[in-house]
Structures are given as C-alpha cells and as structure tokens.
Amino acid sequence: MPGFELFGEEERQAINEIFDNAGGIVFAHGFDAMRNGIYKVREFERGFAAKMGVGYAQAVSSGTAAIKVGLQSLGIGSGDEVITQAFTFVATVEAIKETGAVPVIVDVNETLNMDPDTLRTAITSRTKAIVPVHMMGECAEMDEILAIARENNLLVMEDAAQALGASYHGRLAGTIGDVGAYSTDAGKTLNTGEGGLVVTNDERRFIMARAYHDHGHEYSNVKGRGEEGALCYGFNHRMTEMQGAVGIAQLAKLDLIVRTQRRNKGMLMERLQSLPVAFRKSPDPAGDLADTLVFYLPDRERTAAFVAGIRSNGLGTKNLPDAIGWHFSKHWKHFMNDHPLYSGRTESAWAKSADLLERSIAIPIMVKMDDARIDRIASTLLAISREVL
C-alpha cells in the first residue's frame, strides 16, 4: 500500500533540488527573487489536479487538515450537521467538530462504507453535508449517496484519505462529490511524511479552500504577500516545499503502485478461492485500490482465534482488528461524552457496524510482495481456516 515502499533516488533528488537550485527556500510562497522559479508545492498541486482530472488541487499539511479545509470551502459551520460513518479514522469526526458542526455518525453496511439506508434516516433540517469515507481502498456506494444528497439538497465531501488511486465506475475517488480530501501521510498511497490535498472542480470552493488553509490570504497576482487582504477567517494548514518535492516524485509512481497492488491482490484472491469466509462486498471491484483484503468470519470468537493464528504465523493485519479503537466510533469516549446524540451510548449506537467490524479481518497488500510471499500468505490463511472454521 504505502508509497514509502518505493522511496528512492527520485525523492532524494527532489529534496536536493530545493537546496541545490532553489536557494534552500522551503516555504511555498514568496522569496521570489531567491528561488530560481522553483515552487514545489505549486508543481505538486498542478500535477495532482491533472492526474486526478480535476480543475483545482490545494495541498495542505495533513489529511485531517484537508477534511477541515474542504468542509470550510463548503461553508460548513456551527449549527450545521454533517453526516459521516462509524468506520473511519477518528480524524474525519475531529475535522467535522473543528468546523463547529455536529458530526452525525451512521452505520456502515457489508461494503464497510456508509450505509445509504441509514444515511437517509439520519437527515434532519440541520443537515448540510455528507462525508462518505472510502475505507481501505474501496469506494462507498456513491450513486446512492449522491442521489440522496441531490434529493435533500446536501453537499458531499469525500474523505478519500485511504483511497487515493481507487475509482468508482470510472471516476477517481475524491473527484465524485463537491469536494474531495486526501491524505499523504506515512501510511498512504503517496507518502510525503505528513500532508494532504483538497480537490474540486468548483473555482469558488477552491478559492475558499486556498484562503482558509493560509490565514485567509487572497492570493493576489499583483500584490506581495504582505499587502494581500484576507478573504475569510483562516488558519495555517500550509504544506512545505520538502513535502511538495517528495509528493511530485511519489505522484509519478502512482500508476505503478495501483497496478502492482491490483496484481498482487488478484493473485492472492485466486489462491483464496476456497477460503470459507465472506469477503467484503465491493461496489466496484474493478476500481478497488487493492491495498487491503478484508473478510468476515461467522462470529467474534472465531475471529479472535483466526487473528491469533495470523499472529502466531508471523503475519500481520491492517487496522482490523489491531487498530479498531482508532477507526470505530464506538471507542471514542474521550470526546463523545459531550456529543448531543451519542453521549453515554457509544457502546450501543452502531450495532450493525459493531457486528460487521468485530468479525472483520483485514490483510495488508503491499507493492513489494513477490509470488513466494503471496503463496505463503494464502497457504497460511487456508491452514488457519482449516483449524478454526
């Protein structure tokens, strides 16, 4: 999955160029006379927008920031409700809270993404936006979600942090709704250490995202930074030139990453045809980013026994179940106690999600997995299943 597997000379060269040719200017703006025309973050943004086929990309300091900046660009604020899903990284809900809006958290279904039926029942007169999250490389059921959004006049921001490179019926994850947010942190498809991007085709929203991520700066073509006015209240969520440089080098590897993961997952799936489990439901198998293989076991007891078998054979799982605490709202009591809807009931609020997630096992698919490794993972999983199931 992660771009870090492919770190190489290209990333090193990209960083060195800042010091060799750009006067060591590591700030993305200004210093025009000293930097020899080299603006890494801007180049990364242009390249990313072109690769994603969108009008605009705004690079920011993290995926969490990308969600918040994206929501700000949609005009979300206090008094609004924003619907997202129970299975996501905690950052999605943190970012919604940071805007002042109330996060409304709905169940996932067998896709492990937002359940459109539950989404429908959660809409109120205060709902302003929906944030479907494309978890573990698979897109949410966007046709259904977009139809519900249209019927109810709601905005859609995709959290595509875990799905950079995935697609849904030919459209790339993150480019389907009004705004999309990506992460380029150390575990994601592209790795800039920390980082993220907001994309949109709507110039107005882009201008607001750009302003908000940088203290409100208007980004004038004629005034210097110091003389610029502010378009809105803002914050500092800027990306540095070092991140931009690494991002450019990583972006050039995106096709290779996606292609190789798909090959590796395909090979593993072929070898697991006889595994007696239910595999995660995919709304569009051809668009799977293929960085994770998820399956459900019949009950929690056998899931625990299966996971113990995986560990004792020296293999790993990916977030399910090892980091479920960070990815399932049931566990976020540290900030849910003041929540108007879920205070005191996080244990029971998402029974359907709990049933699915607590029977799920996720196996990471890496770029650098040779055939022998794929064979070993398959034969190990088959052997464990013979013992446990």
Ligand X SMILES: Cc1ncc(COP(=O)(O)O)c(C=O)c1O
Instruction: Report phi then psi at 62, rounded to 5.
Output: -165, 170
What is the nearest approach in angstroms of ligand X to the Cβ of residue 95?
A: 8
Are β-strands 278-279 and 196-200 bridged in parallel, bridged antiparallel, or unpaired?
Answer: unpaired
120 Cα distance to chain centroid: 23
What is the nearest approach in angstroms of ligand X to the Cβ of residue 184?
A: 7
What is the nearest approach in angstroms of ligand X to the Cβ of residue 221?
A: 30
Cα–Cα nearest to 167, from 51, 282, 279, 284: 284
Output helix, strand, coil percentages for the chain, rounded to the nearest 5: 45, 15, 40
Nearer to ligand X, 63 or 165 (CB): 63
Nearer to ligand X, 133 or 239 (CB): 133
Contact (Cβ atoms closer than 8 angstroms) between residue 215 and residue 228:
no
Nearer to ligand X, 185 or 358 (CB): 185
Nearer to ligand X, 163 or 336 (CB): 163
What is the nearest approach in angstroms of ligand X to the Cβ of residue 190?
A: 11
The residue sitting closest to ligand X, measured at its beta carbon, is 63
Are β-strands 196-200 and 167-168 bridged in parallel, bridged antiparallel, or unpaired?
Answer: unpaired
What is the nearest approach in angstroms of ligand X to the Cβ of residue 138?
A: 12
Amino acid at 235: F
Distance between CA 246 and CA 274 in Å, rounded? Answer: 42
What is the nearest approach in angstroms of ligand X to the Cβ of residue 326?
A: 8
H/E run at residue 250: helix 241-251
Q: What are the angstrom distances between the C-alpha of 370 and each of 124, 171, 257, 288?
A: 50, 30, 14, 20
Nearer to ligand X, 158 or 214 (CB): 158
297 Cα distance to chain centroid: 26
Nearer to ligand X, 88 or 385 (CB): 88
Q: What are the angstrom distances between the C-alpha of 191 and each of 4, 62, 159?
A: 6, 11, 17
What is the nearest approach in angstroms of ligand X to the Cβ of residue 389?
A: 30
Contact (Cβ atoms closer than 8 angstroms) between residue 162 and residue 135:
yes
Contact (Cβ atoms closer than 8 angstroms) between residue 1 and residue 364:
yes
Nearer to ligand X, 308 or 323 (CB): 323
What is the nearest approach in angstroms of ligand X to the Cβ of residue 259?
A: 22
* Contact residues for ligand X, defined by CB under 6 A: 62-64, 88-89, 91-92, 133, 159, 161-162, 183, 185, 196
Nearer to ligand X, 200 or 385 (CB): 200
